[in-house]
Amino acid sequence: MKVLVAMSGGVDSSVAAAELIDQGHEVVGVTMRLWGGESDTGCCSVSDVDDARRVAQQLGIDHLVFNFSDDFNTHVVAPYVQAHVDGITPNPCIECNRHLKFDRLSERARVLGFDAVATGHHAQVSRGDDGVYRLTRGHDQLKDQSYVVYMLDQTELAFTMFPVGHMTKAQVRDRAVALGLRTATKPDSQDVCFISRTGGRETFLGNRIEFRKAAVVTSDGETAGAVDALELVTIGQRRGLGLPGGGPKQFVVDVDTPNARVVIGSEDQLLRTGLAVNNVMWANVAPTVGQKVLVQSSAHGTAVAASVESVSGANLVLRFDVAQRRIAPGQSIVCYDETNSFVLGGGIAEAINPASN
């Protein structure tokens, strides 16, 4: 097969390319140039592009660079900024996967005559006897990344390869060391690529939007403090709310954007038994009402038991077996099968979720 490997300049994608070469595939590496601004984190720096190019040289494969910066700004950066204005907590890395790696890149790969695209994600694709493709958790439970690629449908699963999904992270690094790859000991990217360590989220957003002051109020409407930037507040937050010391712990239970208010309450007031999800995509077919699922709401979170209360088109309502902390609107919600092995599908947490009852 002719495979286009997305090489971010990290160790996982480097070894992914090496694994495919060993399997006898015709491999070409590609690095996507996404962010043209300041970057000292993530996978968009000049040094990352150079690392990917040098690894390709070590492996003896061609290396391409695709400039998708306009798409990145349109589908990732601009929505990230707008989400904060709207009081939503975005997940830009997932949107990058959705719109760039598994849309724009796959589209370009097909045009160029490739049979598949591959990435260094710790996830796996399997195909059952019924011909249905499944997105399965990565072998390394601590590094599993199936959550961040949940948007893959049957067409994309058939076109996607995850060559290191069957390996542990330690095995990936050992393989890179054995091959003498320059990325063998390179630390994993942990941060949003367009948010610099020096300036942080506050500086990035402050250069693009005007922050609004907001009152911090209790659930009874009593004023308890104030914040200088409503756009930087998210559900579940405890610090930076201008509250006096002492007393019981208080958490952000709601961000009232239209009225410029941050509502605080006890941890119990954060609890919800219901969760509404929109923009849902299914790997194959939608689950049925009453079906038991496991629900994960963050990349490295623990999946919790729930059942499908309703499902209609791209909308889903889940009911947790045990009440959970309210999930910030804008976060990705991924449903796994009851065995917690493979992805059923997922979507985005709605701004208004069913109350605990």
Q: What is the pLDDT of residues 37-46, one digit of tens each?
A: 665 555 656 7
Q: Which of 43, 44, 93, 193 is catalytic?
A: 193
Q: What is the pLDDT of residues 237-268, one digit of tens each?
A: 998 888 877 778 899 999 999 999 999 999 99
Just give the CATH number of 270-349.
2.40.30.10
pLDDT band at 357 (very low <50, low <70, confident <90, very high): very low
* Confidence check: pLDDT of 171 > 50: yes
**pTM of the full predicted structure?**
0.92
Q: What is the pLDDT of residues 83-112, one digit of tens each?
A: 999 999 999 999 999 999 999 999 999 999
Determine the pLDDT at residue 218: 93
> Helix or strand or coil: residue 134?
strand
Average pLDDT of the residues in 17-32: 97
Determine the pLDDT at residue 189: 78
CA distance 251 to 305: 24
Determine the pLDDT at residue 150: 98
Look at residues 12, 29, 6 and name the one whose alpha carbon lies nearest to residue 174.
12
Q: What is the pLDDT of residues 184-228, one digit of tens each?
A: 999 887 678 888 878 889 999 999 999 999 999 998 889 999 999
Average pLDDT of the residues in 49-70: 96
193 in active site: yes
Burial class (CB in 10 A: 0-12, 13-18, 19+), 338: exposed
The CATH fold assigned to 2-179 is Rossmann fold (3.40.50)
Determine the pLDDT at residue 337: 97
The structural domains of the chain, with segments of one domain joined by +, span 2-179, 213-265, 270-349
Tell me the H-state helices in the chain: 11-22, 46-59, 69-72, 78-85, 92-96, 105-111, 154-159, 169-179, 200-206, 267-270
* Confidence check: pLDDT of 115 > 70: yes
* Confidence check: pLDDT of 352 > 70: no
The whole-chain average pLDDT of the chain stands at: 93
> Helix or strand or coil: residue 15?
helix
**Lowest mean pLDDT across 162-171, 188-197, 276-285:** 188-197
Determine the pLDDT at residue 77: 96
Contact 83, 330 (CB under 8 A): yes
CA distance 18 to 27: 9
**Residue 214 pairs with which residues in a beta bridge?**
227
Q: Which of 43, 93, 96, 335 is catalytic?
A: 96
